[in-house]
């Protein structure tokens, strides 16, 4: 038999094999498509056994508050862990000065001297006591802004940096947009009631969280008192936030009051690894504002634990992958299988209510049949993090490397390999 005849026979056999493979692959598609996703739901209680409170099955009562709006924000995860009308638009009084401080700190030299104009000197409400032509540094104006809640200091800073109240409001709104604050709008730097000037408790917490990552801001708002200089003369000022030094772990942030907003207080508090921001808006009195904030703080630290959610996710994904990665079939691929990885969660730790720690579930959904080619980093499934029925995060499962589609030469080579193996085996028997 000459080489041409042999090649033609091989081609005929190969065509027959390919036809059979096509039929089989279609059958596989029909079979697998009925059960394409594999789901695993497993509690993660064993991963957080070191956290206190797992055994506590008693019902946890929510805080009883006077304020019309309230919220607790977990700084580690950026999540709301308690809220009462937390996404409702509202006036926010002098808590506005949190964003005012951010814009000043990012756009001004703290050592610069500001000469007070008539507009700042004539501003009403809570005041630092500035007069026209007074000279004071940006640094000392910031202390006057955040400790004494000086509206005159707010106007002086706004005009110094923004050129005008309107120009500074534009800067505030631009910064709010950068921070992703879609339910906030700013008209004035001090927070006096003004149509079109509003935020939400959640977005106010996000502003405070961002600001507290600026060392100078944190230094200012955590100070119970300070000495500033006006025209070279010292002036002692005290912080209007009476929780500093009286409630364990409190290190800021800002009080506020207008008729439209009511009594307001944004507070930051850290005990151990748990770091929170509380927001109270619309309390009737200063005492109720303080009591509500204390209630929120104690509720958070009595009932929440910080857990390593990334560790739980990775542990469960590895368990799932060990069982299921080898079951994923890539039809017509140079490799029949595929290697997987999971994208990193946005946050590695988060506060979880103690009675929900044994209700952390991981749900994995994945394709089990794929057609080649498969691209590197191609999404083939996802992992959902669910706590007490609430979806916390969805992470994508991707291919580690590319799986190329077989070409005719690859099929021919495979077939020839089979023939060679068969010939070798026959020769050994003979």
CB contact at 8 A, 257 and 151: no
pLDDT of residue 127: 97
Same domain, 272 and 333: no
Q: How confident is the model over 107-133, as a mean pLDDT?
A: 97
Domain total of the chain: 2
The answer to whether residue 24 sits within a structural domain is no
- Whether the pLDDT of residue 37 is over 90: the answer is no
Same domain, 343 and 202: no
- Whether the pLDDT of residue 298 is over 70: the answer is yes
Write down which residue in 283, 314, 338 finishes a domain: 283
Each residue's pLDDT tens digit, 253-289:
999 999 999 999 999 999 999 999 999 999 999 999 9
The answer to whether residue 127 sits within a structural domain is yes
- The contacts of residue 300 (CB under 8 Å, 6+ apart) are 72, 81, 82, 269, 274, 276, 278, 351
CB contact at 8 A, 360 and 310: no
282: left (phi over 0), alpha (psi -120 to 50) or beta: left
Each residue's pLDDT tens digit, 185-202:
999 999 999 999 999 999
Same domain, 258 and 347: no
Same domain, 109 and 83: yes
Task: Say whether 131 sits in a helix, a strand or coil.
Answer: coil
The enclosing domain of 383 has a CATH number of: 2.60.410.10
pLDDT of residue 408: 78
pLDDT of residue 31: 28
Same domain, 314 and 262: no
Parallel, antiparallel or unpaired: strands 329-331 and 369-371: parallel
- Whether the pLDDT of residue 203 is over 70: the answer is yes
- In the structure, what pLDDT confidence band is assigned to residue 4 with cuts at 50, 70 and 90? low
Task: Say whether 11 sits in a helix, a strand or coil.
Answer: helix
- The contacts of residue 351 (CB under 8 Å, 6+ apart) are 74, 76, 77, 79, 81, 274, 276, 300, 304, 305, 306, 307
Same domain, 122 and 255: yes
pLDDT of residue 335: 87
Can you give 285-345 as a three-state secondary structure string? CHHHHHHHHHHHHHHHHHHEEEEEHHHHHHHHHHHHHHHHHHHCEEECECCCCCCEEECCC
The answer to whether residue 27 sits within a structural domain is no
CA dist., res. 101 & res. 224, Å (int):
17
CA dist., res. 353 & res. 358, Å (int):
10
CB contact at 8 A, 248 and 271: yes
The answer to whether residue 79 sits within a structural domain is yes
pLDDT of residue 50: 41
Backbone angles phi, psi at 186, to 5 degrees: -120, 135
Tokens describing residue 284: 């009737």
- Whether the pLDDT of residue 49 is over 50: the answer is no
Of 336 and 374, the one with more pLDDT: 374
pLDDT of residue 302: 97
The answer to whether residue 120 sits within a structural domain is yes
Tokens describing residue 210: 């961002």
Same domain, 174 and 258: yes
Q: How confident is the model over 19-23, as a mean pLDDT?
A: 46
CA dist., res. 154 & res. 159, Å (int):
9
Q: How confident is the model over 149-173, as a mean pLDDT?
A: 98
Same domain, 245 and 375: no
pLDDT of residue 316: 96
Same domain, 235 and 115: yes
Q: How confident is the model over 374-380, as a mean pLDDT?
A: 96
Q: How confident is the model over 8-22, as a mean pLDDT?
A: 53
* Four-point Cα dihedral 322, 323, 329, 334, nearest 10: 30
Same domain, 44 and 122: no
Same domain, 166 and 51: no
CA dist., res. 366 & res. 381, Å (int):
4
Full-model pTM: 0.82
pLDDT of residue 386: 97
- Whether the pLDDT of residue 320 is over 60: the answer is yes
CB contact at 8 A, 205 and 77: no
The answer to whether residue 190 sits within a structural domain is yes
Each residue's pLDDT tens digit, 390-427:
999 999 999 999 999 988 776 677 667 766 665 554 45
Instruction: Report residue 8 CA to chain centroid gap.
Output: 64
Note down the domain range covering 396.
39-62+306-407
Least confident of 61-65, 206-210, 316-320: 61-65
pLDDT of residue 61: 87
């Amino acid at each position: 038999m000459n080489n041409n005849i042999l090649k033609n026979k091989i081609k005929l056999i190969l065509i027959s094999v390919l036809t059979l493979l096509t039929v089989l692959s279609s059958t596989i598609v029909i079979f697998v498509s009925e059960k394409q996703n594999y789901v695993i739901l497993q509690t993660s209680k064993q991963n957080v056994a070191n956290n206190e409170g797992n055994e506590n099955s008693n019902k946890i009562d929510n805080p009883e508050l006077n304020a019309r709006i309230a919220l607790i924000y977990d700084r580690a995860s950026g999540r709301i862990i308690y809220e009462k009308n937390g996404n409702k638009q509202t006036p926010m009084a002098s808590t506005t000065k949190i964003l005012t401080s951010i814009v000043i700190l990012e756009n001004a030299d703290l050592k610069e001297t500001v000469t007070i104009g008539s507009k700042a000197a004539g501003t009403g409400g809570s005041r630092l006591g500035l007069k026209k032509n007074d000279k004071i540094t940006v640094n000392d104006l910031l202390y006057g802004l955040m400790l004494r809640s000086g509206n005159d200091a707010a106007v002086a800073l706004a005009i110094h940096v923004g050129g005008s109240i309107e120009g500074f409001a534009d800067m505030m709104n631009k910064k709010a947009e950068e921070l992703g604050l879609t339910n906030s709008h700013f008209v004035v730097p001090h927070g006096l009631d003004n149509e079109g000037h509003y935020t939400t408790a959640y977005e106010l917490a996000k502003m405070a969280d961002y600001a507290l990552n600026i060392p100078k801001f944190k230094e200012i708002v955590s100070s119970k008192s300070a000495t500033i200089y006006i025209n070279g003369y010292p002036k002692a000022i005290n912080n209007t936030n009476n929780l500093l030094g009286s409630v364990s772990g409190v290190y800021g942030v800002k009080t506020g009051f207008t008729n439209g907003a009511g009594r307001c207080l944004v507070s930051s508090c850290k005990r151990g690894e748990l770091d929170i921001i509380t927001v109270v808006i619309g309390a009737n009195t200063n005492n109720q504002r303080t009591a509500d904030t204390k209630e929120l703080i104690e509720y958070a630290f009595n009932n929440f634990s910080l857990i390593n959610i990334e560790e739980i996710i990775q542990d469960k994904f590895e368990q799932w992958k060990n069982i299921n990665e080898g079951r994923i079939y890539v039809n017509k691929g140079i490799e029949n299988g595929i290697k997987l990885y999971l994208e990193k969660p946005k946050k590695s730790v988060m506060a979880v209510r103690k009675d929900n720690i044994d209700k952390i579930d991981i749900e994995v959904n994945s394709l089990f049949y794929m057609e080649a080619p498969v691209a590197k980093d191609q999404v083939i499934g996802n992992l959902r993090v669910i706590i007490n029925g609430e979806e916390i995060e969805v992470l994508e499962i991707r291919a580690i490397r590319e799986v190329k589609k077989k070409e005719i030469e690859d099929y021919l080579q495979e077939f020839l390999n089979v023939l060679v193996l068969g010939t070798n085996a026959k020769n050994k028997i003979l």
